[in-house]
Structure 1
């Protein structure tokens, strides 16, 4: 087996707290039935199309805000920022990734875009300074799980699939990575995710106590 020397990470829900939990909090604050927002972007045909267009960079965040809010019958002003108001860094996961990089593992962010404004989900994380590679889907006008994007990511990492681990909190984003020989981890809680990554890299990524 090729030694695994690359760690590829989704952003939201991996280096941050749960996006789904944020959506539930938004529903409550907006006076919507629990599950409304996630249903609109994952099940409503127009909502699904709009969200895919946002991730591909085919529409701006401002346009997405207005058109998606209209599907829910609410105000669209900074909708994404309001939905993700409770999103925070996941410090244990961030520290583990930093430990992997310090040990010589190449790290890369592989994230579907949500646009850059008015709300910037990546603000304050200094991704380019803290990781070797940053791929945001809108720059390539496609999105995960498009297999082409995974090949591009490996090219940027300058590593074969067998040398990489990929962590994502969305199950449908994992199979294209597995097809390229990448070991995958479905992110749940930080402790479980870190344990799985440690096993795959053969490294301890947490401080000894």
Structure 2
């Protein structure tokens, strides 16, 4: 089949997010200017540079995480493991501003080193980030798409030592969770390796 998004897909459910998958989940923790904690998962998340470490998450509508990160200039990205899937899902709720998702999901806020917002103590890894810019993408007609892309430079990395095997972060031990389409998720339970080819070796 072929379809143009503007004309609709004709399927029972939109396949777009199932096609662009798996997507890592950015479990974003922030601290409001008044000190209250916020925690929410974003499946439009990724890293896009390793020198310096740069990550971004995208909010469809300026939701709390994007708004707070813009105001404070900080956010943390907590790794979601399979064991934390249920708690992550609890934090996706549209809770009122006076409710901390940490409390709601029974998670432990732990202090970060270089930023003021908390991290999830139970997470296998956390990236401490300082906001570098907030982008507001536009569509082909030049209209603002209602999307806010928060980019941040990683200024600190927390890693649970039990996830390190021979000096490598073991994703099968952490069982990184990924978002698929519809209501579906996947966890990394096995991997395989390939080396990038070099022209001189041909």
TM > 0.5 fold call: no
TM-score bin (small chain): under 0.3
Q: What is the TM-score when the length of structure 2 is the normalising length?
A: 0.26
Instruction: Give the structure with the larger strand fraction.
Output: 2
Considering only CA atoms, is the larger Rg found in Structure 1 or Structure 2?
2
Higher RCO, Cα 8 Å, sep 6+: 1
